[in-house]
Amino acid sequence: STQIQLVQRPHGWPEPSDFRTAEVTYGDVQPGHVRVRNEFISVDPYMRGRMMDTRSYVPPFQIGETMTGGAVGRVVESAVDDLPVGTLVLHQFGWRDIAQESADGFRAVPEPPAGHPSSVYLGVLGLTGFTAYVGLLDIAQFTENDVVFVSGAAGAVGTIVGQIAKLKGSPRVIGSAGSKEKVEVLTAKYSYDVAFDYKTAPVRRQLAQAAPDGIDVYFDNVGGDHLEAALDAFNDGGRAALCGAISQYNSTSRPEGPDNMANIITRGLTLRGFIVAKHSDLMSAFNREMSQWLADGEVDYDETVVDGIGNSADAFIGMMRGQNTGKMVVKV
Ligand code: NDP
């Protein structure tokens, strides 16, 4: 099995030399185990945190060991009755082409809807779609007529947030992303009413122009200057779902705090962080609504597909640098 291992903890931006490709040989499939050939593996921003040896909600990756993460694959050898050969499974043994582990670690999923690749279980029908759903509807308590601002809008989570907000009745959804092409995709394909490139002018100024009547909900994927701009733009009683802070994941110094935190008090704002894995109570509602939206063509998605397990580290670094539109996956 070809597997990607961490050789040293990245300092600042991750480099290809922080990773290595190793060949691992498995023995026979033991009772209670399965062998799975991965079809797609996921590279996600939260993995940057796992490359550090710090306390978080998931344990750090160990130096010299194969990393883990979301993956979808097919059972090719089985020593259990309920996961026969051919079953499509979702699991956490990513960063490798073949996974051979106890069957407990794998969950059977139905074949993807006609016309969609199995990678949808890592994106729109998986944890990223679910993150968008939970963050907007539960954490930020979105209600129709809320004006919504989304940062990281052209990414895996962001493309879905904008569409859900429009489907649920938002009169105005504003997105920011890091290139002219992404900004165009947001309005052309993802129902965003307005979008801007955060690299061309200060976010504060661009958001004020895009939201002359203020915002009610902010879905924060970025932190830093984006959060500061949102705090300025908020109407009274505004709500933010703090989903991620990717602008800070590779920084080597402690970020400065927003300079306008007092707005939280004076405007009665609610800022609430969340970890999607702790909201599984909403999973069945999400599966029902998102499968229907996908079937009806009401929700669209993009994937940036990198070919070959050996290119996984480059895919991860590329995603952190913004080379993806929608979900970044590696095709094994
Ligand atoms: P994306 O598909 O959005 O990929 C990351 C994107 O971040 C890049 O494409 C890049 O786009 C953007 N980016 C990188 N650096 C910066 C920067 N300095 N400022 C602004 N944008 C930047 O990833 P995901 O959709 O998977 O994740 C989005 C966010 O959601 C992340 O912060 C992640 O940690 C968080 N998350 C949180 C979860 C939770 O449970 N709370 C679960 C899943 C994700 P661009 O070209 O626009 O710069």
Residue 289 lies in a domain: no
Residue 69 lies in a domain: yes
DSSP 69-106: B-EEEEEEEESSSSS-TT-EEEESB-SBSEEEEEGGGE
Distance of CA 318 from the midpoint of ligand 1 (Å): 12
- Ligand 1 atom 33, closest CA: 244
Q: Is the domain of 6 the same as that of 106?
A: yes
Radius of gyration for the chain, computed over Cα atoms and rounded to the nearest angstrom: 20
Query: Is the four-CA dihedral 270, 215, 290, 158 of positive or negative sign?
Result: negative
Residue 55: per-residue pLDDT: 86
Q: Is the domain of 163 the same as that of 265?
A: yes
Q: Is the domain of 181 the same as that of 112?
A: no
Q: Is the domain of 131 the same as that of 273?
A: yes
Candidate of 246, 251, 276, 279 to mutate for ligand 1, largest count of ligand atoms within 8 Å of Cβ: 246
Looking at residue 17, which CATH number applies to its domain?
3.90.180.10
Sequential pLDDT tens for the chain (332 residues)? 999 999 999 999 999 999 999 999 999 999 999 999 999 999 999 999 999 998 888 899 999 999 999 999 999 999 999 999 999 999 999 999 999 999 999 999 999 999 999 999 999 999 999 999 999 999 999 999 999 999 999 999 999 999 999 999 999 999 999 999 999 999 999 999 999 999 999 999 999 999 999 999 999 999 999 999 999 999 999 999 999 999 999 999 988 889 999 999 999 999 999 999 999 999 999 999 999 999 999 999 999 999 999 999 999 999 999 999 999 999 99
With a threshold of 0.95, tell me whether the complex ipTM lies above it. yes
Q: Is the domain of 107 the same as that of 146?
A: no
Q: What angle do CA 232, 131, 38 make, to 5 degrees?
A: 140
Q: 111-142 burial by CB neighbour count: b if 16+ within 10 A, else e?
A: ebeeebbbbbbbbbbbbbbbbbbbbbbbbbeb
Q: Is the domain of 227 the same as that of 135?
A: yes
Residue 15: per-residue pLDDT: 97
User: Among 109, 128, 70, 91, which Cα is nearest to 286's?
Assistant: 128
Q: Is the domain of 136 the same as that of 52?
A: no
Residue 281: per-residue pLDDT: 98
Domains held by the chain: number: 2
d(CA 72, CA 226): 33
Residue 46 lies in a domain: yes
Whole domain around residue 175: which residue ranges? Answer: 127-277
Angle between the N-to-C axes of helices 224-233 and 203-210, in degrees from 0 to 180, rounded to the nearest 10: 40
Q: Is the domain of 132 the same as that of 273?
A: yes
Residue 236 lies in a domain: yes
Instruction: List pLDDT tens digits, range 98-109.
Output: 999 999 999 999
- Ligand 1 atom 19, closest CA: 247
β-pair type (194-197, 71-78):
unpaired
Residues sharing a CB contact under 8 Å with residue 269, sequence separation 6 or more, in sequence order: 231, 234, 237, 238, 239, 240, 263
Instruction: List pLDDT tens digits, range 249-266.
Output: 999 998 888 999 999 999
Q: Is the domain of 146 the same as that of 57?
A: no
Looking at residue 204, which CATH number applies to its domain?
3.40.50.720
CA dihedral of 307, 311, 314, 318, whole degrees rounded to 10: 10
Name the pTM for this structure. Answer: 0.97
Residues sharing a CB contact under 8 Å with residue 176, sequence separation 6 or more, in sequence order: 149, 150, 151, 152, 153, 195, 196, 197, 198, 203, 206, 207, 222, 226
Residue 161 lies in a domain: yes
Residue 256: per-residue pLDDT: 85
Residue 56: per-residue pLDDT: 87
Q: Is the domain of 65 the same as that of 95?
A: yes
DSSP 8-class letter at 19: E
For 38, other C-beta atoms within 10 Å of its C-beta total 24
Residue 291 lies in a domain: no
Q: Is the domain of 115 the same as that of 139?
A: no
Residue 118: per-residue pLDDT: 98
Pocket of ligand 1 (CB under 6 A): 44-46, 128, 131, 152, 154-158, 177-179, 182, 221-222, 243-244, 246-247, 274-276, 319-320, 322, 324, 328
Residue 283 lies in a domain: no
How remote is the C-alpha of 37 from its chain's centroid?
A: 23
Residue 111 lies in a domain: yes
d(CA 298, CA 35): 36
Q: Is the domain of 48 the same as that of 169?
A: no
